[in-house]
Amino acid sequence: MKCHRFIQTTNRRDMLRASACGFGQLALAALAGQGASAAIARRQIPHLPARAKRVIFLFMWGGPSHVDLFDPKPRLNVESGKPLLGKSVGSDRDQLGEVMGSPFRFAQHGDSGVWMSELFPHLSRHADRMCVLRSVHTEGAAHGEALLRLHTGQANLVRPSVGAWVSYGLGSENESLPAFITISPPRGHGGVQNYGNAFLPAVHQGTAIGSAEIPISQAVVSNLVNARLKPDLQQEQLKLIQSLNRRHLREAAIDQQIEGLIANYELAFRMQSTVPQIMDLNDESQGTLDLYGVGSETTDNFGRQCLLARRFAELGVRYIQVSTNYTWDHHQKVQEGHIAESAKVDRPIAGLLEDLARRGLLEDTLVLWGAEFGRTPMAENGDGRNHHPQAFTMWAAGGGVRGGLTYGSTDDFGYRPVENPVHMHDLHATLLHALGLDHERLTYRHAGRDFRLTNIYGDVVHAILA
């Protein structure tokens, strides 16, 4: 069930008070269920002491198999080929199919002994930085629904995405950059809705760089470059525009819209020079490029994405998502598929953690890794695995989480969580909490009600926070 629409915390008087304090436009906009007029998200003070200032979410589109990566299940191999029915906590349905063992070797890593399969040799060196959540669960057996739940908490209604909530809650740390950037986002399975602002003011919408199906080296931010005018000429043109606008404003005496438009052109023009500078990796040392695997065929693309994420993190962007292409959906040949896909991301992710740590950024950057769901312990098409939202693994590092911790567990087959289940809503609540945001207080008035990311759900998983 999903109560889409309720929770009232702010009263009318508060709204009116805000209005009297000079945010008339904002208050009106909120009352009327529309966005405010501001070019950049105002910086906000968090509700709680913050452990992290920003988030980098590494999204593995398609759904990696938890039982092949982070959640070793020896019984899968023992019972490989036999029906799961009647064996597992969750096996109360008629046709579950046959168990399929994992082809990969697992080992414990670091002082903490975090389990990982052989597919992440680089990442495993960071085991003591990782907090592995083995009991994540969600709804949505199809990608579209599950992606929307992962990114917005809901599927049947359009709701703001996590990054938009973070932008709304914390605002921007950088006057020339949006607070929410999504690198190579998926176009399908909800597409822009997965980084949309829904009813939140549009300034909180994720700014997309490229899309999942094109290499990041070819990605551009839309309309960042004028194809006809060189910058010096464009600056002349901008001068004319602003002069016309200021004359209009003078005639109007007071007008927030005209003022807003003037400020907006200034910001847009600034972004034209700052964003390409950020996107250009030429000023990175060879050592750094190597760390991320930039320049090596397999890892180049994801390496560039991760490096870009670090650059945005450095500049104060609050929420950065990095997405793989739709390549983790291994209904067949899970072995080959997982070998190939892990190789693309392992070194870049390890490089990102290392680089963030070296620069002192890891302590206040929450890195989160995961997908819309995991994969079944049962075989599909002989050598593949199907979608599995009932239980899967995500992990976090940095930004106030307890490194080296393995939290929650699944049954002998990885079918259902048995200990400390973490629902997607709980994960969202915890993520906000780490940023100093109380998920019950981070609300927005829309259509007469106050909405939150976690709807009426969500428990903060305090145990994973340092």
Partner 1 sequence: MRSQQLKLFWIWLVCILATLSTSHAADVDTAEGIAYFEKHIRPLLANRCYKCHSVRTKKHEGGLLLDSRAGWAVGGDNGPAVMPGDVDASLLIQAVRYTDPDLQMPPDKALPQDAVARLEQWVRMRAPDPRGDSTVERARRDDPSDPIAGREHWAFRPLTEQPPAIALPDWPRSTIDTFIVAQLDAAKLQPAPDADRRVLIRRVYVQLIGLPPTPQQVATFLDDGRPDAYERLVDQLLNSPHFGERWGRHWLDLARYADSNGLDENFLFREAWRYRNWVIDAVNADLPFDQFVLEQIAGDLLPHDSIEQRDGQRTAAGFLVVGPKVLLGNDPKERRMDVADEQIDTIGRAILGQTLGCARCHDHKFDPIPTADYYALAGIFTSTEVMERRYMLGQQRVMERLVGLGPDGDETDGAYEKYWRDRPKLQERQKHAQSALDLLKKDNAKALEALAKEHADAIADGAADASQPKEKRIASQKTLLAELNAAVAKPPGIPARAMIPNDADAPADESIRVAGQFDHLGEQVPRGFLRVLSDVTAEIPERQSGRVELGRWLTDVDGGAGQLAARVLANRVWHHLIGRGIVRTVDNFGRTGEAPSHPELLDYLARELIDSGWSIKNLVREIVLSRTFAMSSRHDDAGHSLDPENRLLWRAHRRRLDPETLRDSMLSAGGELDLKPMQSSVWYLGDQATAVGDNKNRRRTDFPNRSVYLPVIRNDLPELFDVFDFADPHTSTGMRPQTMVATQGLFILNDASVMAAAEATARRLLAGEITGEQESKVDRMFEVVLNARATEEDRNELLAFISDFKNRLTSQGDSDADLRAWSMACHALFASSRFQILE
Residues 244-263 interacting with partner 1 (rule: CB under 8 A): 244-245, 247-249, 252-255, 257-258, 260-263
- 23 binding partner 1? (CB under 8 A): no
Comparison of 28 and 107: residue with beta carbon closer to partner 1? 28
Query: Residue 322 carries which side chain, given as an amino acid letter?
Result: V
Helix (H, G, I), strand (E, B) or coil at 226: coil
Q: Supply the minimum distance, in Å, between the C-beta of residue 411 and partner 1.
A: 15
Give, as ranges, the residues between 81 and 140 that touch partner 1 (CB under 8 A). 140
- 466 binding partner 1? (CB under 8 A): no
Give, as ranges, the residues between 136 and 165 that touch partner 1 (CB under 8 A). 140-148, 155-158
- Say if residues 64 and 374 touch (Cβ distance below 8 Å): yes
| Cα distances (angstroms) measured from residue 134 to each of 34, 54, 140 | 39, 23, 18
Give, as ranges, the residues between 27 and 86 that touch partner 1 (CB under 8 A). 28-29, 31-40
DSSP state of 337: H
How far apart are the C-alpha atoms of 270 and 235, rounded to whole Å? 11
Q: Supply the minimum distance, in Å, between the C-beta of residue 161 and partner 1.
A: 12
Which two three-digit tokens encode residue 174?
């950088």
User: Among 116, 132, 203, 397, which residue interacts with partner 1 (rule: CB under 8 A)?
Assistant: 203
Burial degree of 98 (CB within 10 A; 0-12, 13-18, 19+): middle
Comparison of 3 and 107: residue with beta carbon closer to partner 1? 3
- Give one DSSP letter per residue of 403-439, joined into a string: TTEEE-EE-TTSSSEEES-EEHHHHHHHHHHHTT--T
- 448 binding partner 1? (CB under 8 A): yes
Comparison of 107 and 142: residue with beta carbon closer to partner 1? 142
Comparison of 115 and 265: residue with beta carbon closer to partner 1? 265
Give, as ranges, the residues between 267 and 286 that touch partner 1 (CB under 8 A). 267-269, 271-272
Comparison of 115 and 269: residue with beta carbon closer to partner 1? 269
Comparison of 171 and 178: residue with beta carbon closer to partner 1? 178
Residue 29 neighbours by CB under 8 Å, 6+ apart: 35, 36, 37, 201
Which two three-digit tokens encode residue 353?
């953690």
Q: Supply the minimum distance, in Å, between the C-beta of residue 13 and partner 1.
A: 13
- 188 binding partner 1? (CB under 8 A): yes
Q: Supply the minimum distance, in Å, between the C-beta of residue 235 and partner 1.
A: 11
How far apart are the C-alpha atoms of 440 and 352, rounded to whole Å? 32
Comparison of 120 and 451: residue with beta carbon closer to partner 1? 451
User: Among 163, 337, 414, 421, which residue interacts with partner 1 (rule: CB under 8 A)?
Assistant: 421
- 264 binding partner 1? (CB under 8 A): yes
Comparison of 78 and 456: residue with beta carbon closer to partner 1? 456
Q: Supply the minimum distance, in Å, between the C-beta of residue 255 and partner 1.
A: 6
User: Among 16, 220, 233, 466, which residue interacts with partner 1 (rule: CB under 8 A)?
Assistant: 233
Strands 207-209, 180-183: pairing kind: parallel
Taking residue 433's Cβ as centre, other Cβ atoms within 10 Å add up to: 23
Burial degree of 92 (CB within 10 A; 0-12, 13-18, 19+): exposed
